[in-house]
Structure 1
Amino acid sequence: MTAEPTTTGGAGAAPLLAVRDLTMAFPGRRGRTGGRGAPVRAVDGISFDLAAGETLGLVGESGCGKSTTGRMLVRLLEPTSGSVTFDGRDITRLSQGALRPLRRHLQMVFQDPHSSLNPRQTVARIISDPLLVQGWSAGDARRRAAELMELVGLIPEHIDRYPHEFSGGQAQRIGIARSLATSPRLIVADEPVSALDVSVQAQIVNLMERLRRELGLAYVFIAHDLSVVKRVSDRVAVMYLGRIVEIGDKKSLYDDPRHPYTRALLSAVPLPDPAAERRRERITLLGDPPSPAAPPPGCTFHPRCPKAQEVCRTERPLLRIADPGATREVACHFPGD
């Protein structure tokens, strides 16, 4: 039986966000005869909790279902099955009208800052739009937008400029300001720095960390760069082919990864010490990830796993506590070294 997802909240504290058995299956492609192929299970039954003020990093290769998960959390995509409970209320099947008052507490920051901003609107309108939807007057919304620009490190006097007049890093700050407009409790950040230069990435990460401390925000931070995830996260969940294969506090996961896939991902992260970089083992995975339209039986990682045995080919491993008294969960028949 799958272990109950854990959080870093206090004993008995209800999670801010509770995800249970969440799945997303997209229709298969149409064939030449008009029929559809097998559905693509982009997310295949994931569960986790998130405490108030906590950051959960969600990592994995491209196509593993990270971004799809993030969009389901804020109801930009409708899940095929499972549930998302926010602050004690199941929001999975709420109508758009019933969901609207809750949206002020659930916001998202997107990967490409320029494509997520309307090029025909001024920054004032972009940031204040969520407030206008919530019933704010135009004057109050504009004043709030100027305050938010200053909060994220932009010049309020530039409020009437258009997105193309800002650099990539500045545009992402505008996106962050927009997400903060309604004073949310949870922000889903979908690869928020991957489209930026390395020097600008550090500035945005530092900004998000400061905002979390000052505003008490919780983040689901989606990324493929494990060094960035380590910098911002309290806990980390590793996804492979739509499933979480390992989840736990970042220190134990980075210091002692238990799933072979986690070990392979971490072995590719550059080390700042050249001597240590030369000494360590680099784990190279064979082949490409299988198609989510036709996943292999048993453990979906077994075709690429150097430790795979017969049980891995026939029986799907469930997330379970890795060690007695530990909070880390691993979906592997043979976790550890």
Structure 2
Amino acid sequence: MTAAPLLSVRDLSMTFRTRRGPVKAVDGIGFDLAEGETLGLVGESGCGKSTTGRLIVRLLEPTGGTVSYEGRDISHLRQRELKPLRRRLQMVFQDPHSSLNPRQTVARIIADPLLVQGSPAAEARKRAAELMELVGLIPEHLDRYPHEFSGGQAQRIGIARALATGPRLVIADEPVSALDVSVQAQIVNLMERLQRELGLAYLFIAHDLSVVKRVCARVAVMYLGRIVEIGPKELVYTAPAHPYTSALLSAVPLPDPAAERTRKRITLLGDPPSPAAPPPGCTFHPRCPKAQQRCRTEAPVLRADDGGRQVACHFPEVPGALTLVTRTASP
């Protein structure tokens, strides 16, 4: 019997109302995340990755669909009902310095989630010192301020704050993109160690596919608010089925200079369409080298292959039988 997923997203949508009209940032996406698993969410800037993360932790109110956490629909819970759930569902943000209050000490920043949940101040400070040590910082620096730390150290503080309440799931929104390459490796190593030690599940949002390949077991590719391909890392990276996935992977630098010089780079036509005025049919068709008439009029739906991959494409790169993915709402 298969265990129920820790996180289940179904037909999740987010439409922002602007002066120029509605903008659909997230357009009916769905996926599951198992306990202790890392799922990568990748795509170009503006495709809806970060909005998806914020919807899951309820920093934004979804306009459609459901988010179920630990078997419970949390999509429209009131803040009072969400409060106990937030202990087990936390987020790490992209820019470590802008996500930390510059007027608060590190001790207060890390202890805040515990204080909100009702922990005594002395107990919260003791836990903050333990977390500083857990993420590789010196507990004696608790009374310093965020500006006194480097970018990598500040991100460790952000991770410590996310772990304060003992979550089971952490939404990591581009946690290394604002850091130097050498520091990125340190933060990735830290997150992997914490996952092993604490049994964490991650939704790892990123645009760097080499980092995602390192840390994730499965990968979901987003384009203009929709998931166009999702599946095991080995399949997605070695035999991408969607033309957009192929183009993204062709832009990842190879460590071998000779292979880098000889490989074929896929160049997409034009810029991504505006989510305020998406093209009809498949939203990728204006830039797709394989687009046909059907792509211009009929939006593809996710279909599954025999390897556990799902792809939304009328003419996928990998041939084989595809079956329609049917989803039922979580209880």
Provide the residue aligned with 1:172 in structure 2.
155
Q: Secondary structure at the match of 1:130?
A: helix
Query: Is the Cα contact below 8 Å between 1:233 and 1:250 reproduced in 2?
Result: yes
- For 1:164-243, list aligned pairs within 5 A: 164-243=147-226
Aligned to 1:222, what secondary structure does the other structure show?
Answer: strand
Structure 1 residue 38: deviation in Å? 2.5
- Equivalent residue in structure 2 for 1:54, among 31, 37, 40: 37
Which of 10, 15, 19 is equivalent to 1:20? 10
Alpha-carbon separation, structure 2, partners of 1:145 and 1:58:
30
Q: In the TM superposition, what is the alpha-carbon distance from 1:280 to its structure 2 partner?
A: 1.3
Aligned residue for 1:113, secondary structure, equals: coil
Letter in 2 for 1:48: F
For residues 336 and 118 of structure 1, the distance between their equivalents in structure 2, rounded to whole angstroms, comes to: 47
Once the two structures are superposed, what CA deviation does each residue of 1:180-237 show, in whole Å capped at 9, x if it has no partner? 0000000000010000001000000010010001100000000000000111101000
The residue type equivalent to 1:139 in the other structure is: A
* Deviation of the 1:279 alpha carbon: 2.0
The residue that corresponds to 2:326 in the other structure is: none
Q: Deviations over 1:140-173 (max 9, x none)?
A: 0000000000000000000100001100000000
What is residue 4 of structure 1 aligned with on the other side?
none
- d(CA) in 1 for partners of 2:144, 2:129: 12
Give the alignment's TM-score, normalised by structure 2: 0.95
| SS of residue paired to 2:290 | coil
Q: 1:105 aligns with which of 80, 84, 88?
A: 88
Q: Could you tell me how far apart the structure 1 residues matched to 2:4 and 2:80 are?
A: 26
Q: Shift of the alpha carbon at 1:179? A: 0.2
**1:294-313 equivalences in 2 (<5 Å):** 294-313=277-296
Structural RMSD (CA): 0.7
Amino acid paired to 2:112: D
| 3-state DSSP of counterpart to 2:143 | coil
Is the aligned partner of 1:326 residue 2:307?
Answer: yes
Count of residue pairs the alignment pairs up: 318
Matched position secondary structure for 2:18: coil
SS at match of 1:104: helix
Letter matched to residue 291 of structure 2: A
- Stretches of structure 1 that go unaligned for 5 or more consecutive residues are 1-10, 30-36
2:72 is the alignment partner of 1:86 = no
Q: Deviations over 1:78-126 (max 9, x none)?
A: 0001000000000001100011000000100000000000011000000
Corresponding residue SS for 2:21: coil
CA distance in 2, matches of 1:251, 1:202: 21
Say yes or no: does 1:132 pair with 2:121: no
Amino acid at match of 1:176: I
1:309: Cα distance to partner?
0.2
Per-residue Cα deviation, 1:49-100 (whole angstroms, up to 9, x for no partner): 0000000000000000000000000000000010000000000011000110
C-alpha separation between the residues in 2 aligned to 1:334 and 1:13?
33
Q: In 2, distance between residues paired with 1:149 and 1:111?
A: 19
User: Taking every aligned residue pair, what percent have the same amino acid on both sides?
Assistant: 81
Q: Retained in 2: the 8 A contact 1:65–1:239?
A: yes
SS of 1:40's partner is strand
User: Which consecutive segments of 4 or more residues in structure 1 shift more than 4 A?
Assistant: none
Q: Do the aligned residues in 2 keep the contact of 1:38 with 1:294 (CA within 8 Å)? A: no
Letter in 2 for 1:283: I
Q: Which letter maps to 1:148?
A: L
Q: How far does residue 13 in structure 1 lie from its aligned partner after superposition?
A: 1.0
Match of 1:193, as an amino acid? V
Unpaired runs of 5+ in structure 2? 319-331
Q: CA deviation at 1:276?
A: 1.3
Q: Deviations over 1:225-251 (max 9, x none)?
A: 000011110100000000000000101
Among 62, 66, 73, the residue aligned to 2:56: 73
Cα distance between partner residues in 2 of 1:13 and 1:317: 30
- 1:268-289 deviation per Cα after TM superposition (whole angstroms, max 9, x unaligned): 0001111111221100001000
Aligned counterpart, 1:145: 128
CA contact (8 A) 1:28 1:293 kept: no
Which residue matches 2:324? none
Choose from 156, 159, 164 the match for 2:142: 159
How far apart in 2 are the matches of 1:274 and 1:125? 48
Q: What amino acid sits opposite 1:20 in the alignment?
A: R
- Residue 95 (structure 1) aligns with: 78
Tell me by how many angstroms 1:331 deviates.
0.2
Determine if contact 1:257/1:336 at 8 Å carries over to the other structure.
yes
Deviation at 1:28, TM superposition (A): 2.3
Q: Distance in 1 between matches of 2:281 and 2:196?
A: 42
Q: Does residue 38 of the first structure (1) align with residue 28 of the second (2)?
A: no
Structure 2 residue aligned with 1:6 = none
